[in-house]
Structure formats: C-alpha cells, structure tokens
C-alpha cells in the first residue's frame, strides 16, 4: 500500500515514477527518516547502491515492507 512520506519508516521502499514516456520507475530503500513532521526527508539507498537525502515530491510513493518477521 502506498503512503505519504510522513508515514515512511526504515525498511520501506520509495518509488519515483518516470517523468517521460519510456522512463522507468526508480526504487530505493528508506534507511532513515529525518526532520520534523511535515518537513520529512529520507535517507535512501537507491538500486544502483548510491545513498542520498531525498525530499519526496508528488511523484514519490512509499511502499511498506512487512516489518514483522
């Protein structure tokens, strides 16, 4: 289920939709949620192994992973 950034937790997946025809979605794992409520930013490890601080926009969705094993 997709959620807004304020509901992201470590281990969730962030998905950024492609902006042009033929662009693929970009996926990354949320490593940490930083900032105050309403001004969250995410530390994300992307599929290519890079880590960035990401400010989610309207093209981003958060997909929860099962945190209980």
Domains of the chain, residue spans: 2-63
Strands annotated E in 1-69: 2-3, 13-16, 26-34, 41-46, 51-54, 60-63
| CA angle 43–48–53, rounded 5-degree value | 20
Instruction: Give the separation between CA 3 and CA 54, rounded to whole angstroms.
Output: 16
**pTM for the structure as a whole:** 0.78
pLDDT level of residue 36 (50, 70, 90 thresholds): confident
CATH class of the 2-63 domain in this structure: mainly beta
Give the lowest-confidence range in 8-12, 30-34, 35-39, 55-59: 35-39
């Amino acid at each position: 289920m997709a959620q807004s950034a304020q509901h992201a937790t470590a281990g969730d997946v962030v998905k950024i939709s492609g902006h042009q025809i033929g662009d693929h979605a970009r996926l990354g794992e949320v490593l940490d949620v930083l900032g105050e409520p309403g001004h969250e930013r995410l530390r994300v490890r992307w599929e290519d192994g890079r880590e960035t601080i990401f400010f989610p926009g309207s093209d981003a969705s958060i997909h929860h992973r099962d945190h209980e094993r």
